Amino acid sequence: MQIAGIPRVRLANLPTPLYEAKRLSEALGGPHIFLKRDDLTGVGLGGNKVRKLEFLLGEARNRGANVVLTAGAPQSNHARQTAAAAATLGMEVHLVLTGERSEEFRGNLLISHLLGAHLHFVTGKTMDEAVARASDEMVRLAAELEGAGKEPYVVPVGGAVPLGSVSYALAVLELMQQANDLRVRVDWIVHATGSGGTQAGLLVGTRALRTGIRVLGVRVGYEFEPFEERVSEQANETARLLGPKDVTFRSSDVVATRDYVGEGYDRPTREASEAILLTARCEGVLLDPVYTGKAMAGLIDMVRKGRFGRGEVVVFWHTGGEPALFAGAEVCGPYLTAG
Protein backbone atom coordinates (compact mmCIF):
# COMPACT_ATOMS: atom_id res chain seq x y z
CA MET A 1 0.00 0.00 0.00
CA GLN A 2 1.28 3.48 -0.77
CA ILE A 3 0.59 6.33 1.59
CA ALA A 4 3.54 8.52 0.80
CA GLY A 5 1.60 10.79 -1.53
CA ILE A 6 -1.41 11.30 0.72
CA PRO A 7 -1.23 14.37 2.97
CA ARG A 8 -1.71 13.63 6.66
CA VAL A 9 -1.60 15.54 9.93
CA ARG A 10 -0.66 13.74 13.11
CA LEU A 11 -3.45 13.78 15.67
CA ALA A 12 -4.02 10.32 17.14
CA ASN A 13 -2.14 8.59 19.93
CA LEU A 14 -0.96 5.54 18.02
CA PRO A 15 -0.73 2.64 18.30
CA THR A 16 -3.87 2.29 20.41
CA PRO A 17 -3.65 -0.56 22.95
CA LEU A 18 -4.46 -4.15 22.00
CA TYR A 19 -4.87 -6.70 24.76
CA GLU A 20 -6.88 -9.72 25.74
CA ALA A 21 -10.08 -9.11 27.70
CA LYS A 22 -9.54 -12.24 29.76
CA ARG A 23 -12.41 -11.92 32.24
CA LEU A 24 -14.89 -11.05 29.52
CA SER A 25 -13.71 -14.03 27.42
CA GLU A 26 -14.04 -16.24 30.49
CA ALA A 27 -17.49 -14.90 31.40
CA LEU A 28 -18.67 -15.82 27.90
CA GLY A 29 -16.87 -19.18 27.81
CA GLY A 30 -14.53 -18.32 24.89
CA PRO A 31 -13.41 -17.30 22.17
CA HIS A 32 -10.36 -15.18 23.04
CA ILE A 33 -11.68 -11.62 22.91
CA PHE A 34 -9.11 -8.89 22.41
CA LEU A 35 -9.90 -5.19 22.69
CA LYS A 36 -8.44 -2.70 20.23
CA ARG A 37 -8.87 0.58 22.06
CA ASP A 38 -9.58 3.27 19.48
CA ASP A 39 -11.56 5.04 22.17
CA LEU A 40 -8.05 6.04 23.30
CA THR A 41 -6.96 7.81 20.11
CA GLY A 42 -6.94 10.99 22.25
CA VAL A 43 -7.95 14.45 20.97
CA GLY A 44 -11.25 15.51 22.56
CA LEU A 45 -11.83 12.13 24.26
CA GLY A 46 -10.93 10.04 21.22
CA GLY A 47 -12.77 7.64 18.95
CA ASN A 48 -12.55 6.33 15.40
CA LYS A 49 -12.95 9.70 13.68
CA VAL A 50 -9.57 10.91 14.93
CA ARG A 51 -7.86 8.44 12.60
CA LYS A 52 -10.01 9.57 9.67
CA LEU A 53 -9.43 13.24 10.46
CA GLU A 54 -5.67 12.79 10.12
CA PHE A 55 -6.23 12.40 6.37
CA LEU A 56 -9.24 14.69 5.96
CA LEU A 57 -7.59 17.59 7.73
CA GLY A 58 -4.34 16.69 5.97
CA GLU A 59 -6.17 17.46 2.74
CA ALA A 60 -7.70 20.60 4.29
CA ARG A 61 -4.27 21.88 5.31
CA ASN A 62 -2.84 20.99 1.90
CA ARG A 63 -5.51 23.16 0.29
CA GLY A 64 -4.66 26.07 2.58
CA ALA A 65 -7.89 25.86 4.60
CA ASN A 66 -8.11 27.67 7.92
CA VAL A 67 -11.77 26.97 8.78
CA VAL A 68 -13.44 23.57 9.09
CA LEU A 69 -17.16 22.83 8.72
CA THR A 70 -19.05 19.65 9.32
CA ALA A 71 -22.54 18.43 10.24
CA GLY A 72 -24.16 15.83 12.45
CA ALA A 73 -26.67 15.25 15.22
CA PRO A 74 -26.24 17.29 18.42
CA GLN A 75 -24.76 14.17 20.07
CA SER A 76 -22.49 13.42 17.10
CA ASN A 77 -19.13 11.89 18.04
CA HIS A 78 -17.87 12.92 14.62
CA ALA A 79 -18.73 16.58 15.22
CA ARG A 80 -17.07 16.51 18.64
CA GLN A 81 -13.88 14.90 17.31
CA THR A 82 -13.79 17.34 14.38
CA ALA A 83 -14.11 20.24 16.83
CA ALA A 84 -11.27 18.80 18.91
CA ALA A 85 -9.01 18.14 15.93
CA ALA A 86 -9.60 21.66 14.58
CA ALA A 87 -8.83 23.19 17.99
CA THR A 88 -5.66 21.09 18.18
CA LEU A 89 -4.55 22.47 14.82
CA GLY A 90 -5.61 26.06 15.60
CA MET A 91 -8.38 26.08 12.98
CA GLU A 92 -11.80 27.72 13.35
CA VAL A 93 -14.64 25.18 13.35
CA HIS A 94 -18.37 25.37 12.56
CA LEU A 95 -20.77 22.54 13.33
CA VAL A 96 -24.20 22.36 11.70
CA LEU A 97 -26.32 20.26 14.02
CA THR A 98 -29.66 18.68 13.18
CA GLY A 99 -31.93 19.47 16.11
CA GLU A 100 -33.24 22.17 18.37
CA ARG A 101 -30.74 24.23 20.32
CA SER A 102 -30.95 22.76 23.82
CA GLU A 103 -31.22 24.71 27.04
CA GLU A 104 -28.50 22.66 28.62
CA PHE A 105 -25.45 21.27 26.84
CA ARG A 106 -24.59 17.66 27.65
CA GLY A 107 -22.39 14.82 26.36
CA ASN A 108 -20.79 15.44 22.97
CA LEU A 109 -22.54 18.78 22.52
CA LEU A 110 -21.06 20.11 25.73
CA ILE A 111 -17.57 19.07 24.65
CA SER A 112 -17.93 20.65 21.19
CA HIS A 113 -19.01 23.87 22.90
CA LEU A 114 -16.07 23.73 25.33
CA LEU A 115 -13.74 23.31 22.34
CA GLY A 116 -14.93 26.59 20.89
CA ALA A 117 -16.96 25.26 17.96
CA HIS A 118 -19.46 27.67 16.41
CA LEU A 119 -22.77 25.82 16.71
CA HIS A 120 -25.56 26.19 14.13
CA PHE A 121 -28.84 24.33 14.65
CA VAL A 122 -31.20 23.32 11.84
CA THR A 123 -34.49 21.46 12.08
CA GLY A 124 -36.90 19.80 9.66
CA LYS A 125 -40.23 18.01 9.78
CA THR A 126 -38.43 14.72 9.22
CA MET A 127 -34.85 13.62 9.85
CA ASP A 128 -34.21 13.49 6.09
CA GLU A 129 -35.39 17.06 5.74
CA ALA A 130 -33.18 18.21 8.63
CA VAL A 131 -30.15 16.45 7.09
CA ALA A 132 -30.85 18.06 3.70
CA ARG A 133 -31.12 21.47 5.38
CA ALA A 134 -27.87 20.88 7.23
CA SER A 135 -26.05 20.27 3.99
CA ASP A 136 -27.58 23.42 2.43
CA GLU A 137 -26.57 25.37 5.52
CA MET A 138 -22.97 24.15 5.18
CA VAL A 139 -22.86 25.37 1.57
CA ARG A 140 -24.29 28.73 2.64
CA LEU A 141 -21.89 29.05 5.56
CA ALA A 142 -18.90 28.10 3.44
CA ALA A 143 -19.80 30.83 0.93
CA GLU A 144 -20.23 33.35 3.75
CA LEU A 145 -16.86 32.43 5.25
CA GLU A 146 -15.21 32.71 1.85
CA GLY A 147 -16.81 36.14 1.43
CA ALA A 148 -15.16 37.10 4.72
CA GLY A 149 -11.75 36.17 3.27
CA LYS A 150 -11.44 32.76 4.97
CA GLU A 151 -10.59 29.40 3.44
CA PRO A 152 -13.25 26.85 4.49
CA TYR A 153 -13.00 23.07 4.16
CA VAL A 154 -16.07 20.87 4.51
CA VAL A 155 -15.39 17.59 6.31
CA PRO A 156 -17.88 15.03 4.92
CA VAL A 157 -20.36 13.84 7.54
CA GLY A 158 -18.90 10.97 9.56
CA GLY A 159 -15.66 11.23 7.57
CA ALA A 160 -17.46 8.70 5.39
CA VAL A 161 -15.35 9.05 2.26
CA PRO A 162 -12.51 6.91 0.88
CA LEU A 163 -9.88 9.36 2.15
CA GLY A 164 -11.19 8.73 5.68
CA SER A 165 -11.26 4.97 5.17
CA VAL A 166 -7.58 5.01 4.20
CA SER A 167 -6.85 5.45 7.90
CA TYR A 168 -8.55 2.17 8.78
CA ALA A 169 -6.72 0.28 6.06
CA LEU A 170 -3.52 1.48 7.73
CA ALA A 171 -4.88 0.65 11.17
CA VAL A 172 -4.90 -3.01 10.12
CA LEU A 173 -1.14 -2.78 9.62
CA GLU A 174 -0.89 -1.44 13.17
CA LEU A 175 -3.04 -4.32 14.43
CA MET A 176 -0.93 -6.92 12.62
CA GLN A 177 2.28 -5.56 14.12
CA GLN A 178 0.77 -5.70 17.61
CA ALA A 179 -0.71 -9.17 17.11
CA ASN A 180 2.68 -10.33 15.88
CA ASP A 181 4.38 -8.98 19.00
CA LEU A 182 1.81 -10.76 21.17
CA ARG A 183 2.17 -13.92 19.05
CA VAL A 184 -1.52 -14.19 18.35
CA ARG A 185 -3.26 -14.95 15.06
CA VAL A 186 -6.37 -12.85 14.66
CA ASP A 187 -9.38 -14.64 13.14
CA TRP A 188 -12.06 -11.96 13.36
CA ILE A 189 -12.57 -8.24 13.76
CA VAL A 190 -15.97 -7.26 15.18
CA HIS A 191 -16.93 -3.59 15.32
CA ALA A 192 -19.79 -1.08 15.28
CA THR A 193 -20.57 -0.03 11.74
CA GLY A 194 -22.55 3.13 10.94
CA SER A 195 -21.86 4.70 7.56
CA GLY A 196 -19.51 1.79 6.85
CA GLY A 197 -16.44 3.98 6.30
CA THR A 198 -14.48 2.26 9.05
CA GLN A 199 -15.53 -1.14 7.75
CA ALA A 200 -14.48 -0.26 4.19
CA GLY A 201 -11.00 0.62 5.44
CA LEU A 202 -10.72 -2.53 7.55
CA LEU A 203 -11.74 -4.64 4.55
CA VAL A 204 -9.05 -3.07 2.37
CA GLY A 205 -6.37 -3.45 5.03
CA THR A 206 -7.17 -7.05 5.90
CA ARG A 207 -7.32 -8.06 2.22
CA ALA A 208 -4.30 -6.10 1.00
CA LEU A 209 -2.14 -7.55 3.76
CA ARG A 210 -3.50 -11.05 3.10
CA THR A 211 -4.35 -11.54 6.75
CA GLY A 212 -7.25 -13.97 6.33
CA ILE A 213 -9.11 -12.00 9.02
CA ARG A 214 -12.90 -11.89 8.70
CA VAL A 215 -14.42 -8.46 9.32
CA LEU A 216 -17.88 -8.49 10.86
CA GLY A 217 -19.73 -5.19 11.23
CA VAL A 218 -22.55 -4.82 13.72
CA ARG A 219 -24.89 -2.19 12.36
CA VAL A 220 -26.25 0.54 14.60
CA GLY A 221 -29.03 1.86 12.34
CA TYR A 222 -31.08 1.05 9.25
CA GLU A 223 -29.76 3.94 7.15
CA PHE A 224 -27.18 3.86 4.35
CA GLU A 225 -29.00 1.27 2.23
CA PRO A 226 -28.09 -0.65 0.14
CA PHE A 227 -25.41 -1.02 2.80
CA GLU A 228 -23.24 -3.86 1.48
CA GLU A 229 -23.15 -2.34 -1.99
CA ARG A 230 -22.18 1.08 -0.71
CA VAL A 231 -19.48 -0.26 1.59
CA SER A 232 -17.98 -2.42 -1.17
CA GLU A 233 -17.87 0.60 -3.50
CA GLN A 234 -16.20 2.66 -0.82
CA ALA A 235 -13.70 -0.15 -0.19
CA ASN A 236 -12.89 -0.25 -3.92
CA GLU A 237 -12.31 3.49 -4.03
CA THR A 238 -10.17 3.30 -0.90
CA ALA A 239 -8.08 0.56 -2.48
CA ARG A 240 -7.64 2.75 -5.58
CA LEU A 241 -6.28 5.57 -3.41
CA LEU A 242 -3.83 3.20 -1.77
CA GLY A 243 -2.66 1.41 -4.88
CA PRO A 244 -3.05 -2.37 -4.66
CA LYS A 245 -4.66 -3.27 -7.99
CA ASP A 246 -5.72 -6.80 -7.10
CA VAL A 247 -7.86 -5.68 -4.14
CA THR A 248 -11.48 -5.44 -5.25
CA PHE A 249 -14.72 -6.12 -3.47
CA ARG A 250 -18.26 -7.15 -4.28
CA SER A 251 -21.21 -6.52 -2.01
CA SER A 252 -21.12 -10.18 -0.95
CA ASP A 253 -17.67 -9.50 0.60
CA VAL A 254 -19.22 -7.10 3.10
CA VAL A 255 -20.56 -8.88 6.18
CA ALA A 256 -22.73 -6.77 8.47
CA THR A 257 -25.59 -7.75 10.72
CA ARG A 258 -28.69 -5.63 11.41
CA ASP A 259 -29.85 -7.91 14.22
CA TYR A 260 -28.82 -5.65 17.10
CA VAL A 261 -30.11 -2.25 15.98
CA GLY A 262 -33.39 -2.49 17.91
CA GLU A 263 -35.86 0.27 17.08
CA GLY A 264 -33.27 2.30 15.26
CA TYR A 265 -30.20 4.50 15.38
CA ASP A 266 -29.74 6.19 18.70
CA ARG A 267 -32.58 4.19 20.32
CA PRO A 268 -31.31 2.33 23.38
CA THR A 269 -31.70 -1.44 23.68
CA ARG A 270 -31.75 -3.62 26.77
CA GLU A 271 -29.10 -5.90 25.23
CA ALA A 272 -26.70 -3.00 24.65
CA SER A 273 -27.19 -1.86 28.24
CA GLU A 274 -26.38 -5.36 29.48
CA ALA A 275 -23.29 -5.47 27.27
CA ILE A 276 -22.14 -2.11 28.64
CA LEU A 277 -22.54 -3.28 32.24
CA LEU A 278 -20.79 -6.62 31.61
CA THR A 279 -17.82 -5.01 29.85
CA ALA A 280 -17.49 -2.29 32.46
CA ARG A 281 -17.58 -4.75 35.34
CA CYS A 282 -15.37 -7.44 33.79
CA GLU A 283 -12.77 -5.19 32.19
CA GLY A 284 -13.13 -1.65 33.55
CA VAL A 285 -13.82 -0.52 29.97
CA LEU A 286 -16.68 1.81 29.10
CA LEU A 287 -18.75 1.38 25.95
CA ASP A 288 -21.49 3.70 24.66
CA PRO A 289 -25.21 3.08 24.12
CA VAL A 290 -25.37 4.17 20.45
CA TYR A 291 -22.48 2.30 18.82
CA THR A 292 -20.13 0.09 20.79
CA GLY A 293 -22.75 -1.14 23.27
CA LYS A 294 -24.84 -2.49 20.39
CA ALA A 295 -21.74 -3.97 18.75
CA MET A 296 -20.77 -5.73 21.98
CA ALA A 297 -24.36 -6.95 22.41
CA GLY A 298 -23.98 -8.48 18.95
CA LEU A 299 -20.64 -10.06 19.80
CA ILE A 300 -22.00 -11.55 23.03
CA ASP A 301 -25.08 -12.97 21.30
CA MET A 302 -23.04 -14.41 18.44
CA VAL A 303 -20.64 -16.05 20.92
CA ARG A 304 -23.64 -17.66 22.61
CA LYS A 305 -24.93 -18.86 19.25
CA GLY A 306 -21.58 -20.48 18.42
CA ARG A 307 -20.57 -18.18 15.56
CA PHE A 308 -16.90 -18.24 16.65
CA GLY A 309 -14.70 -21.23 17.45
CA ARG A 310 -13.78 -21.50 21.15
CA GLY A 311 -10.07 -21.17 20.43
CA GLU A 312 -10.44 -18.37 17.88
CA VAL A 313 -9.20 -14.82 18.42
CA VAL A 314 -11.80 -12.10 18.01
CA VAL A 315 -10.67 -8.49 18.10
CA PHE A 316 -13.46 -6.20 19.29
CA TRP A 317 -12.51 -2.85 17.79
CA HIS A 318 -13.67 -0.22 20.29
CA THR A 319 -14.54 2.83 18.20
CA GLY A 320 -15.23 5.21 21.11
CA GLY A 321 -18.39 7.20 21.77
CA GLU A 322 -18.40 7.25 25.60
CA PRO A 323 -19.47 10.92 25.86
CA ALA A 324 -22.98 9.69 24.99
CA LEU A 325 -23.05 8.14 28.47
CA PHE A 326 -23.37 11.70 29.74
CA ALA A 327 -26.13 12.70 27.32
CA GLY A 328 -29.00 11.71 29.63
CA ALA A 329 -31.63 8.99 29.85
CA GLU A 330 -33.02 9.64 26.36
CA VAL A 331 -29.78 8.41 24.79
CA CYS A 332 -28.77 5.91 27.47
CA GLY A 333 -32.15 4.34 28.10
CA PRO A 334 -33.71 3.48 31.44
CA TYR A 335 -31.38 0.56 32.25
CA LEU A 336 -28.14 2.50 32.60
CA THR A 337 -29.23 5.63 34.34
CA ALA A 338 -31.47 4.09 37.02
CA GLY A 339 -29.61 3.95 40.36
CA distances from 178 to 16, 52, 171, 212, 256 (A): 10, 20, 11, 16, 25
- Tell whether residue 227 is a contact of ligand PLP (CB under 6 A): no
Whether 42 contacts 322, CB under 8 Å: no
Q: Please identify which residue in 1, 33, 69, 160 interacts with ligand PLP, judged by CB under 6 A.
A: 160
Q: Identify which of residues 196 and 268 has a Cβ nearer to ligand PLP in the complex.
A: 196
Q: Please identify which residue in 44, 46, 74, 197 interacts with ligand PLP, judged by CB under 6 A.
A: 197
CA distances from 39 to 18, 24, 79, 314 (A): 12, 18, 15, 18
Rg (CA), the chain: 19
The number of angstroms, rounded, from the C-alpha of 272 to the middle of its chain's C-alpha atoms is 17
**In 3D, which of 296, 215, 226, 288 has the Cα closest to residue 256?**
215
- Tell whether residue 192 is a contact of ligand PLP (CB under 6 A): yes
Interaction pattern, residues 40-69, with ligand PLP; x per rule: CB under 6 A: -------xx---------------------
Q: Identify which of residues 29 and 273 has a Cβ nearer to ligand PLP in the complex.
A: 273
Residue nearest to ligand PLP according to CB distances in the complex? 321
Interaction pattern, residues 129-158, with ligand PLP; x per rule: CB under 6 A: -----------------------------x
Tell me the three state secondary structure of residue 152.
strand
Q: How many residues bind to ligand PLP according to rule CB under 6 A?
A: 20
- Tell whether residue 12 is a contact of ligand PLP (CB under 6 A): no
Whether 274 contacts 297, CB under 8 Å: yes
Report which DSSP code applies to 238.
H
Site for ligand PLP in 284-323 (CB under 6 A): 288, 291-292, 319-321
Tell me the three state secondary structure of residue 145.
helix
76 catalytic? Reply is yes
- Tell whether residue 99 is a contact of ligand PLP (CB under 6 A): no
Which of the residues are catalytic? 76
Binding interface with ligand PLP (CB under 6 A) = 47-48, 77-78, 158, 160, 192-199, 288, 291-292, 319-321
